[in-house]
Structure 1
Amino acid sequence: MSATPASIGIVLHDFALGGTERIALRLARAWAARGVAVTIFCGSTDGPLGMLAGPDVEIVAADPPIARSALSRQRLARFAAECFRQRRIEACFIPGNYHWSVIPALRSLPPPHRPFILAQVSASLDKPQRGRWRQLAFDRRMRRLLSGADRVVTLAESMRRDADRILFRRVAVALPLPALEDEAPPLSPVPPGNRTILAAGRLVPIKGYATLIRAFAMIDDPAARLVIVGAGPNEARLRRLIDELDLGNRVDLPGLVGDTRPWLDEARLLVLSSQFEGFPAVVVEALAAGRQVIATDCTPATRELLTGPEFGRVVPIDDAPSLALALREVLASAPPPPALLAAAVAHFRIGPVADAYLQSFG
């Protein structure tokens, strides 16, 4: 196969609102714009992100649909293998850890139908919170599933080293997260006196918003305001906490928004308060908008992105006092030039990253 495949199949369970799905669809659109025949094989068309694929990407869905369940990825694997058996497609892109279960079924196809498999690692592989034995079990499972991949792409250099170590072979390459459009919106300076703190993501416990709200209550700054954009099952619990802390006039939960950039333009900084993340696109987007970030140490990516105090702070997970201290420090300092922060993440633009992915096939 040539370095740039003429056809690529992407396996997605569905079009759920998730970072892995969003990035896969943006890559699909970019590859199709470069003349590659791109087909998405999905278990279901459920979810709001399908429109991101664009008109030039073919979508083939299972019939009947495969809803997410404990065993649904095995069914998705069988469906994807049959699709590749029926079509001659040169390469396959497996987006993110969630879809690794598909790889063995594709690898077992006979040579005329077996594609070149490029698998993406979308989350940190080595988690201290797993403990020794759970980590060893994870390593064995990863080694079994990814042994069928011809190449592995990680989103950070630390993940690349972990992947090669766990797989016992040099197979991984680190490529930037394609989080930004090629056409960058104009930068807006931080409005004078702005003390709005923004967070963005699903309202679920793993995002650490309860800790963020408690930290916000500790900063004792009547002019500060906290806005958390997103929706999810934890909303009622967070609203009760806001009422308990008497923050109703200073904390806003406006719900799901289609584009966080206007909210970033109106904010002083972004907070990522998660207990765990893969590679947080929202941090890249905030820096691209010229806004500082306070992030928990929930992924090695936060330290790779926030390399100095001008970019923000990294704080411990689930530590409200440390988060409150970081908030006070950043709010008390003068904001850096937005262009300085945006320049640090310019290499995350979709165009060059999509080209780098294409060169990783073969």
Structure 2
Amino acid sequence: MLPGRFWTEKLKSSEPDLEALGCMADREVMSVSSQPSPVAPSSPSGRKARVAHVMAGSARGGAELFFERLSMAQTADQRPVRALIRHDAGREGRLRAANVETHTFRFGGMLDVGTKPRLQKSLLEFQPDVVVAWMSRAARKLPSGPWRTAGRLGGYYDLSNYRRCEHLIGNTRGLADWMKTQGWPVDRVHYVPNFATDFASVQSVRPEFLPSGAPFVLALGRLHENKAFDVLIRAMTRLPGVHLVIGGEGPERAALEDLIRKEGLSDRVHLPGWVADSGPWLKACDVMVCPSRIEPLGNVVIEGLSAGVPVVGSAIQGPQEILAGTQDGLLAPVEDADAFASQIGAILDDAALAGRLRLNGRTRFEREFAESVVMAKWSEFLDGGLS
């Protein structure tokens, strides 16, 4: 952990000691403003700040998905936006279809010397007021220029990768608080959550492979050990007659299929792959569950609140913050299949409890995670430094 005084002094220097920051792979000198960029409720100039979003992430992932959603929403809101992304035909196509000005780059490793000058050329051409780097690789490639810089984090990453960023944005309060404990200047740390699609008007549709009338639990996410779907599968052995649908794909598919067979659950646990449109299934399910071992935020939890369905999450990081203890959803200890089964069963057996969680969860979504609320927070940050 970098001491706060040391880190603050380095931010105030126009030519920081990269060796002291442990930046052995990249010797380029950065420049940061000597004073914190102001952040105010609105733009005194009356115009919207021009923003360049830089994303070098993978084809799928929570941060990547929200990057696309935000870029599209800001473009639709008449904000000048340029998306600078790693080569990805699918992402490029989706962004261009939404009229987001999009440019692609290699974003390779240490031997990639071409991406950074191309980024700088694109940025100088676009003349952004703010450049937002999404995750570590993009932050490491940020060129200096006459713009404010921000790193947007969705996890507890090594902050030395963000040395070119004046500001940091965390998508949970816990993450923002952690950034401050790592020595980042308090007035340069900002909490701006993710928004999710509003499923209020979506019609519920049950998966066609489920028997009529059978209660079903829905989980969504990459089939990865961090998501702990194995724990949820074991919980299903304590819930006779209940079906589980896990929408997602990933490296743990074979292991999960073996576990399903071993537990004798082949007729009640279903792995249909990625779900292109999760809204109808979310609206139709009896309970949405996020059993993750690691989950800094939990976009699927927010989607569950949006759909107005009862949510059970693991008692860690993001889900615990989003569900506000037991007010907006229920929590279970990580790895505890019995506890997950108990919480799911409580919702299925108690209509009053289920109704309360539906109402509280939807209210929480509208108050903190609706698109209009989050867009206003982004505007407050982006436009506040204009004069």
- Does TM-score exceed 0.5, indicating one fold? yes
Q: Check whether the contact 2:55–2:135 (CA below 8 A) recurs between aligned residues.
A: no
1: distance between equivalents of 2:292 and 2:92?
23
Q: Does 1:344 align with 2:354?
A: no
The 5 Å alignment of 1:186-335 reads 195-217=215-237, 219=238, 221-299=239-317, 301-309=318-326, 311-334=328-351, 335=354
Q: Which residue in the other structure is 2:376 paired with?
A: 355
Q: Which residue in the other structure is 2:146 paired with?
A: 114
2: distance between equivalents of 1:276 and 1:358?
30
Deviation (angstroms), 1:329: 2.5
Aligned with residue 45 of structure 1, among 81, 88, 111 = 88
Which secondary structure does the structure 2 equivalent of 1:59 belong to? strand
Identity of aligned pairs, percent?
23
> Which residue identity is paired with 1:229?
G
1: distance between equivalents of 2:112 and 2:312?
35
Q: Check whether the contact 1:293–1:313 (CA below 8 A) recurs between aligned residues.
A: yes
Aligned with residue 191 of structure 2, among 170, 174, 184 = 174
Between stretches 289-298 and 240-249, larger displacement belongs to 289-298
> Which residue identity is paired with 2:148?
F
2: distance between equivalents of 1:150 and 1:315?
38
Q: TM-score normalized by structure 1?
A: 0.81
Which secondary structure does the structure 2 equivalent of 1:344 belong to? helix
1:273-314 C-alpha deviation (Å, 9 max, x unpaired): 111112111101111211111111342x21222225453322
Between stretches 238-247 and 352-361, larger displacement belongs to 352-361
> Which residue identity is paired with 1:93?
V
Q: TM-score normalized by structure 2?
A: 0.76
2: distance between equivalents of 1:150 and 1:263?
41
Q: CA 1:224 to 1:177, structure 2 compared with 1: closer, same or farther past 3 Å?
A: same
Which secondary structure does the structure 2 equivalent of 1:119 belong to? strand
Counting matched residue pairs gives: 330
Q: CA 1:53 to 1:344, structure 2 compared with 1: closer, same or farther past 3 Å?
A: farther
1:20-55 C-alpha deviation (Å, 9 max, x unpaired): 111111111122122222111122124457415643
> Which residue identity is paired with 2:298?
P
Q: CA 1:53 to 1:36, structure 2 compared with 1: closer, same or farther past 3 Å?
A: same
1: distance between equivalents of 2:60 and 2:152?
18
Q: Which residue in the other structure is 2:132 paired with?
A: 93
1:155-207 C-alpha deviation (Å, 9 max, x unpaired): 222222211221341111212212234x84258699x9762111111111211
2: distance between equivalents of 1:271 and 1:73?
41
Aligned with residue 81 of structure 1, among 120, 125, 147 = 120
> Which residue identity is paired with 1:45?
D
1:184-241 C-alpha deviation (Å, 9 max, x unpaired): 4258699x97621111111112111111111211x1x332111111112221221111
> Which residue identity is paired with 1:225?
H
Which secondary structure does the structure 1 equivalent of 2:261 belong to? helix
Q: Which residue in the other structure is 2:77 paired with?
A: 34
Deviation (angstroms), 1:251: 0.7
Q: Which runs of 5+ in 2 are unaligned?
A: 1-36, 38-42, 207-211
Q: Check whether the contact 1:121–1:152 (CA below 8 A) recurs between aligned residues.
A: yes
Q: Check whether the contact 1:270–1:291 (CA below 8 A) recurs between aligned residues.
A: yes
Which secondary structure does the structure 2 equivalent of 1:345 belong to? helix
Q: CA 1:78 to 1:317, structure 2 compared with 1: closer, same or farther past 3 Å?
A: farther
> Which residue identity is paired with 2:80?
A
CA-based RMSD of the aligned residues comes to 2.9
1: distance between equivalents of 2:113 and 2:296?
23
Deviation (angstroms), 1:72: 7.8
Q: Which residue in the other structure is 1:165 paired with?
A: 181
1:50-92 C-alpha deviation (Å, 9 max, x unpaired): 4156432111112xx446xx54888654542343245422211
Deviation (angstroms), 1:324: 2.5
2: distance between equivalents of 1:229 and 1:348?
22
Which secondary structure does the structure 1 equivalent of 2:246 belong to? strand
2: distance between equivalents of 1:222 and 1:203?
24
2: distance between equivalents of 1:339 and 1:95?
33
Q: Does 1:56 align with 2:99?
A: yes
> Which residue identity is paired with 1:348?
F
Find the structure with the greater CA-based Rg. 2
Aligned with residue 167 of structure 2, among 151, 159, 166 = 151
